[in-house]
Structure 1
Amino acid sequence: MLGTVAECYLVLVLALTAIAVVPLALGWQGSVVQTGSMRPHVNPGDVVLSTALPADSPVPLGGVVQFRTAAPGGGERTVLHRIVAPAEEQGEWVTAGDANHDVDSSTLSREDITGQARLLVRWVGLPSVWLRTGELAWVAAWVALTLAAVAVRVWSWPRREDEDAPTPSPGAGAGPPAPALGRRTFLAAALAVTAGGTVLAGREPVWAGFTARTATAGNTFRVGTWPTLALGRVASFALLAATRVANEAPYGIGSSVVGSVGVSPGTTVSGFWSWDITGSVERNTATARNARADALALYDTTRARAATRAASTTVTGTLPPGVAHRNGPVHVTGTLTLDARGDASAVFVITGTSVTFTAGSSVVLVNGASADRVLFLGTSTVTVSEGAYVRGVVLANGDVSLVRATVAGRVVSTQGAVLLRAATIAAP
């Protein structure tokens, strides 16, 4: 009985391993599932075999596909999820794990699909999962169980004299049972199981796409977030400076501020007519001091935010949400279009040692982009040149200079002055 049980276990392991490994020789892709985002249909330790999606085949809506996506901490990882709906943008698709409450945070294009799932093999990748997660006790238990099964089956083999005994004639004594499998067969099986397990342990793992919640009880994680880019009490002002605010236009003509003006710890606001500022003027008041404290926090948080794209000297064209830091000057030229892609919470950050909006340049916000979520940060100065039209928050450590230009947003200097010459600043 023990020998029969051991034989059944070894045959099961051999069969599952063969089903998982043989297709790899035929060009299929094999991946060991690491997480429970596809439960109850796919569990950690299962092996999913997939094939490339033919160029003339439609995207399998409702099917399970394998694709590459960004991994936390950088790089990429392979994900195995179901295509659940077309995305709003033509040619893109929405994916989700069967066990997840939320769809994946990014959409999928056809070019991202590396394979379509074809065959599921249960359990055979569990040793690989245990090795990757450091659960060596389970690995040791599985190895011990397999070796014990081999030993029991070898021990229960009939003796050679029994194997060589003639088959009894009908009506004679029952005699020894014929062996189900020979020694050589079991030796080959044990080697095949070992080799197959080695192959599967080296297969690339597949993971769950990132979502904020999961219905899988065994999975617990905390949503990772960027530092919050909150204006705080800066939102009370259209213009905020540390040392002074000055309208340098001849006779104070041509400059205006739609909103409030604050300065702290300085107290100078000069060159404006009474009708040039529609809001209040706060000269080192508690309101101005509180706003400057929040401006300093916003400056530090913005600089600490990790970059998501390469920074360049010249910024123009259309950009998606993201963060670009440059240790050098940045020039915004032509028309810079910031596309939120329908995400009202999208954040855009562009920083440099100095930021210059060249003459005639403009910043355009589309598809839900908000001026208070667009930050242009200069670690020294920011210059808005003649004819420029800027939407967003202009944030500088040093002076900010605006010459015959318009900012539909806010202008903030944490350590310096804000100087206007026939310029307009209008709070969102």
Structure 2
Amino acid sequence: MKARSQKRTAVMAGLLAAVCIAALISASPVGAADPPIGLGTANSYAVLAGSTVTNTGPSVINGDLGLSPGSAVTGFPPGLVNDFQHIEDVEALQAKIDLVTAYDDAAGRTPATSVATELGGTTLLPGVYTGATLGITGTLTLDAGGDAAAVFIIKTDSTLITATDSAVNLINGANPCNVFWQVSSSATLGTRTAFQGTILAFTSISADMGATVEGRLLARNGAVTLDNNVINRPECA
């Protein structure tokens, strides 16, 4: 009888422990993902600049084009903007305010994993990454691991420069809506680069001949310079 009572007590204790463990697991975040950078009204822009927007050749912009506080937009035509142009108006001013907020959010994201200057030939999983200066020669792969909501935030203390014919390749559900590049200086996309994600540059952004972007070129203070490019703003929730 005594042995049966002890057995019953042990079983009850085991069940109680299991319930407590389950409660702790359900109350604790497991591998909480990084939230995306909120762009506010800048979300509708494929190109947004501070000083000038200059285009050469038949570039195509699928998304809004904006400029504030500058007023010089040249090269359209032959360039084509398939949505709205906001040049030094209320909409452009608000988009620039929202860009500053987004830039500061991206710059402040921590913890960040340090990466080497050369990203070409490497694969990154979702997360926040940082480097003194960043470049891509060849292909950088961003692997979402099957999570369509996975977020990539890649930050540089200086410049971002891609070589000719370089690419950013998204696999396993990675979405250009959730890829953000925070550039503390200026970004240059080399000839025929196939780029993915939103660039948030403190100064300027240049896209060389034939470079394509599935994302946005958002320059906080300087110019956006285009040369026979296609910029597709992705449809993001």
Normalised to the residue count of structure 2, the TM-score between the two structures is 0.84
The answer to whether the 8 A contact 1:307-1:325 is kept is: no
Q: Distance in 1 between matches of 2:113 and 2:220?
A: 26
Match of 2:213 among 407, 411, 414: 407
The CA deviation at 1:291 is: 0.9
1:84-124 deviation line (CA, Å, top 9, x unaligned): xxxxxxxxxxxxx523575xxxxxxxxxxxxxxxxxxxxxx
Distance 2:63 2:221 in 1: 21
Q: Does 1:98 align with 2:22?
A: yes
- In structure 2, the partner of 1:365 is 170
Identity %: 33
In 2, are the aligned partners of 1:340 and 1:368 still within 8 Å (CA)?
yes
1:212-252 per-position Cα deviation (integer Å, ceiling 9, x unaligned)? 7xxxxxxxxxx9886762121111111101111110x2xxx
Aligned match for 1:320, one of 110, 118, 125: 125
Q: Which amino acid aligns with 2:162?
A: F
Within 5 A, what are the aligned runs for 1:134-173?
A: none
Gaps of at least 5 residues in structure 1 are: 1-37, 45-96, 103-207, 213-222
**Amino acid in structure 2 at the alignment position of 1:241:** A
Alignment of 1:300-379 (within 5 A): 300-316=104-120, 317-326=122-131, 328-352=132-156, 353-379=158-184
Matching of residue 286 in structure 1 with residue 104 in structure 2: no
Equivalent residue runs for 1:76-155 within 5 Å: 97-99=21-23, 102=26
Tell me how far 1:312 sits from its aligned partner: 1.1
| Counterparts in 2 of 1:358 and 1:307: CA distance versus 1, 3 Å | farther
Report the residue type matching 1:230 in the other structure.
G
- Say if 2:58 and 2:79, in contact at 8 Å, map to a contact too: no
The alpha-carbon deviation at position 345 of structure 1 amounts to: 2.1
For 1:394, the aligned partner's letter is: I
CA distance in 2, matches of 1:335, 1:348: 16
Instruction: Report 1 or 2 for greater relative contact order, CA contacts < 8 Å, sequence distance ≥ 6.
Output: 2
Hey, which bits of structure 1, 4+ residues long, moved more than 3 A? 223-228
- Match of 1:231? 39
Equivalent position amino acid for 1:398 in 2: T
Q: Is the 8 A contact 2:86 2:92 kept in 1?
A: yes
Whichever residue aligns with residue 401 of structure 1, its letter is S
> C-alpha separation between the residues in 2 aligned to 1:371 and 1:377?
14
**Residue 394 of structure 1: which of 199, 203, 207 is its match?**
199
Asked if 1 retains the 8 angstrom alpha-carbon contact of 2:33 and 2:150, the reply is no
Inter-partner Cα distance in structure 1 for 2:164 and 2:34? 34
Distance 2:221 2:172 in 1: 34
The answer to whether the aligner puts 1:211 opposite 2:29 as a matched pair is yes
Contact 2:44 2:233 in 1 (8 A): no
- TM (norm. structure 1) is 0.48
- 1:367/1:360 CA distance change after superposition, 3 Å: same
Does structure 2 retain, via aligned residues, the 8 Å contact 1:351–1:376? yes
Matched residue count? 218
| 1:241 aligned residue (49, 54, 58) | 49
Quote the Cα distance in structure 1 between the aligned partners of 2:165 and 2:222: 25
| Distance change in 2, residues 1:229/1:273 (3 Å) | same
Cα offset, 1:274, TM superposition: 6.6
Q: Shift in Å at residue 43 of structure 1?
A: 8.2
Displacement of 1:358 in angstroms is: 1.3
> Which amino acid letter does the alignment assign opposite residue 408 of structure 1?
E
- Quick one: distance in 1 between partners of 2:15 and 2:70? 61
| Per-residue Cα deviation, 1:4-33 (whole angstroms, up to 9, x for no partner) | xxxxxxxxxxxxxxxxxxxxxxxxxxxxxx
Counterpart of 2:227? Answer: 421
Per the alignment, do residues 259 and 224 of structure 1 end up closer, same or farther by CA in structure 2, a change over 3 Å counting?
closer
Which stretches in structure 2 are left out of the alignment for 5+ residues? Answer: 1-13
Residue 425 of structure 1, CA deviation: 1.0
* Cross-structure match for 1:196: none
Q: CA RMSD in A?
A: 2.4
* Alignment equivalent of 2:188, drawn from 367, 383, 391: 383
Distance 2:154 2:189 in 1: 15
Q: CA deviation at 1:341?
A: 1.2
